[in-house]
Chains A and B, each alone.
Chain A
Amino acid sequence: DTEVTQTPKHLVMGMTNKKSLKCEQHMGHRAMYWYKQKAKKPPELMFVYSYEKLSINESVPSRFSPECPNSSLLNLHLHALQPEDSALYLCASSQEGWGEQFFGPGTRLTVL
């Protein structure tokens, strides 16, 4: 089973709101990722967790705050976002940091 799930599928939020994106995998993978994808662009890495520890932060603004509560879950907390943050947010996981990455279906975020 190569399934990564993400909730919600769609999210509309104002610039003063606080919301969270959730990602879950039950494949026993030890690395999890957050990507951001704008229209007609490739995915852009934001964060990497390995064995529940943050190992890469690609200089992402602090209004994005990742959290890895356990090896199966990954959250992305959002606060005071800007309209330009509107994008498809993708979660991925891999067995180890060098393995094949499998993407979830994504959350389509619109910031008004």
Chain B
Amino acid sequence: QKEVEQNSGPLSVPEGAIASLNCTYSDRGSQSFFWYRQYSGKSPELIMSIYSNGDKEDGRFTAQLNKASQYVSLLIRDSQPSDSATYLCAVRMDSSYKLIFGSGTRLLVRP
């Protein structure tokens, strides 16, 4: 059973802090990794994709991938109340159309 694990939270951080969201996956053949943000009642919005080990930065967001440890994380710098949402980690195995989603981490940024 291929799995993607996330802490359900809520993760509560003060405004301006760094929020760190973590995700582990079970299948070593996984090749593509994605972070989606989902506001309550809305659809998932892609915020980051990462395919190789290391860090990838986009504005206030940094994705980190460590394939040896089967671990992917998302850092949000200077967190804002508008970042309060559920963050879904999604993993795709090589040559598969199927994304496997984690259960999501709810982030709460306190003003």
**A and B bound?**
yes
- A residues near B (Cβ < 8 Å) are 2, 31, 33, 41-43, 45, 48, 50, 55-56, 88, 90, 97-98, 100-106
Are A100 and B34 neighbours in the complex by a CB distance under 8 Å?
A: yes
Are B104 and A42 neighbours in the complex by a CB distance under 8 Å?
A: yes
Are B49 and A100 neighbours in the complex by a CB distance under 8 Å?
A: yes
Interface size on B (CB < 8 Å)? Answer: 22
Give the dominant DSSP class at B's interface.
strand
- Tell me the complex Cα distance, A97–B96, Å: 7
Are A55 and B104 neighbours in the complex by a CB distance under 8 Å?
A: no
- Tell me the complex Cα distance, A105–B43, Å: 5
Q: Given A48-B97, A98-B95, A42–B43 Cβ distance below 8 Å? A: no
Are B97 and A50 neighbours in the complex by a CB distance under 8 Å?
A: yes
Are B88 and A42 neighbours in the complex by a CB distance under 8 Å?
A: yes
B56 beta carbon closer than 8 Å to chain A = no
Given contacts A45-B99, A101-B99, A103-B36, 11 further A-B contacts (CB under 8 A): A33-B97, A42-B104, A55-B97, A88-B43, A98-B31, A98-B32, A98-B92, A101-B34, A102-B46, A103-B43, A105-B42
